[in-house]
A and B are shown apart, each in its own frame.
Chain A
Amino acid sequence: MSEPLLTLSGVYTDIDQYHILQGVDLTVPRGAVTMLLGRNGVGKTTTLRTIIGHWKAKAGSIMYDGQDIVAMATPARARAGIGFVPEDMGIFADLTVEENMILAAVSGAPDPARLDWLFGVFPPLKTFWNSQAGTLSGGQKQMLSIARAMIEDRKLYLIDEPTKGLAPAIVSTMAGALRDLKEQGATILLVEQNFAVAKALGDHVAVMEDGKIIWTGDMATLSTDAALQERLMGLSMEAAQ
């Protein structure tokens, strides 16, 4: 088995006076989708933000592609190939869709073939190419947010609740796009509350509780064990669908 792309060891992160991450140990294998699950407020978003560098880890190490990135600034982490999709549709509302996409292609002009693929996955982006991103609907903004991360081939995608608050039709579009990305062999660390999407996409699972990873394993194991789901997350995946 090849070396994991990302390994967090004993990561502690504080936000102001709150101790959010309390020794996170997490491994993200290459070319697979790792789901980060858990109840609200257990530290899933903070974990992603600590990896991208928004929150600085107080202790522990974050090994990414063979190097410890704890001391690295956020832009350097992004340029090292980490694409981040925040949960709040992190688009630039004052810029057009085109400008948002061009801005996200940090290593040069966007690849036309990749852009065509994205237009196929998210048709509204082509329709509203010259529109201000702030005028898009919630679902379209989320499409843009994910497409921005996908505009270049990243080594690692950190995606935070991409289907949150979206209509079922848009959720299915999102899931389709992420499936496409997965089929291309991308490495994804995904926080997702929609269990149907999580079950369909996830290869591996890490479950968080109180700022720690309390269980890791395969999605196949978790998705077929209702008692385990109940114990880890307080509800069963089937019941939540």
Chain B
Amino acid sequence: MQLVIYLTFAILSLAMILVFVRLMIGPTLPDRVVALELLASIMVGMIGAYAIYTNRTGFLDVAIVMALTAFLAAVGFARFLERGGPRHD
């Protein structure tokens, strides 16, 4: 079980690094918003894996809040874009 959990952590970390590459190179704001949203999804997955690893259920509340805020951020950015914010940052 330990080995599988470590492997999961490794794969998720690799995925996070790849998403971070997209977050850095952009090139536009919507691209970065999509990257941030995926980053939040991966973080929720990681919190789930960590809950299994430490055998504590308290982390699930963090996962719920993480999923909520990521959605709100995406909608907020989209409204900002449609109202005419800077597109090439």
The answer to whether A and B interact is no
Interface set of A (CB-CB < 8 Å, partner B): none
Interface set of B (CB-CB < 8 Å, partner A): none
